[in-house]
Amino acid sequence: SVASAPKSVKWSAELTQEQEAPPHTVSQDNTAHTMPRESNPYVNNPAPPPSSSVKSTVDTMKDVLGKWGKKVGETAKRTEDLAGNVWQHLKTGPSVADAAMGRIAQGTKVLAEGGYEKIFLQTFESVPEEQLQKTFACYLSTSAGPVMGTLYLSNAKLAFCSDSPLSYKVGEQTEWSYYKVVMPLHQLKAVNPSISKGKPAEKYIQVISVDNHEFWFMAFVNYDNAVKCLKDALLAHHLQPTSQV
């Protein structure tokens, strides 16, 4: 084959279909919303999550819950909320054990590569004086199912990257790539928290761009902090002079 020949990418049919907002979810305006489509300009290399393959034990999952709970357990109420969020985070994926092992693997990767800031700079293109401000463990809702990853907030952009590479078709071959979403803050129009009426543990954050593309993030380990930080970033950027990108 010729090296310069363009690749013909065949996306999963599930990802090219529009889908309503996550089940049992009511947004602030009580309207239905759609998932990102293949043509979404903020999505890079969309692909469905791989099938469950990692096996673990309940003891491993409990150990992860315990470690996370100790990190931010200043008060009994906060610890209770965190434990609920962590459990919701782990059971959002196709397998609780897989999610627990995935979080352990991601933590090991962060330590090995020198922290989230280095991973952020390696994963996404940066602009001068850009600095990472916050990271959030969560899932991105797609038509093919939730994708586990990390949401990054810098002083210039909001970006998501899956924790593991996902499969997609190039011709007849299967290749792998990370699922990435990148939205510059000047393209961010709204941040809408929403909580399931029937299942209060199911919490979501809807992000809308100025050209009306939508993303639903879910199963945050620290939901309230994520809502506050994203809303603060939206407000702060909108208060900046219009000449600043």
pLDDT tens-digit readout, 28-74: 443 333 334 446 788 875 444 434 333 344 455 555 556 555 554 44
**Rounded distance between C-alpha atoms, residue 43 and residue 159, angstroms:** 10
Q: pLDDT tens-digit profile of 70-109?
A: 554 444 455 455 555 554 544 455 555 565 555 555 556 6
φ, ψ of residue 39 in degrees (nearest 5): -80, 0
> Is-contact 128 117, C-beta < 8 A?
no
The four Cα atoms 87, 91, 97, 100 give a dihedral, to 10 degrees, of -50
- Minimum mean pLDDT range among 154-163, 188-197, 200-209, 236-245: 236-245
Query: Helix or strand or coil: residue 164?
Result: coil
Contact 138, 218 (CB under 8 A): yes
For 182, the token pair is: 């990148």
Q: Phi and psi dihedrals of 225, rounded to 5?
A: -65, -40
Which 3 state secondary structure label does DSSP give 149? Answer: strand
Give the span between the Cα atoms of 25 and 13, in whole angstroms: 24
Model pTM above 0.75: no
198 pLDDT tier (thresholds 50, 70, 90): confident
| Portion of the chain with pLDDT greater than 70, in percent | 53
pLDDT of residue 173: 85
Higher pLDDT, 19 or 62: 62
Residues 171-179, mean pLDDT to the nearest whole number: 85
What fold does the segment set 9-48+58-239 form as a domain? PH-domain like (2.30.29)
What distance in Å separates the CA atoms of residue 127 and residue 155, rounded to the nearest whole number? 10
Q: Percent of the chain, pLDDT > 90?
A: 29
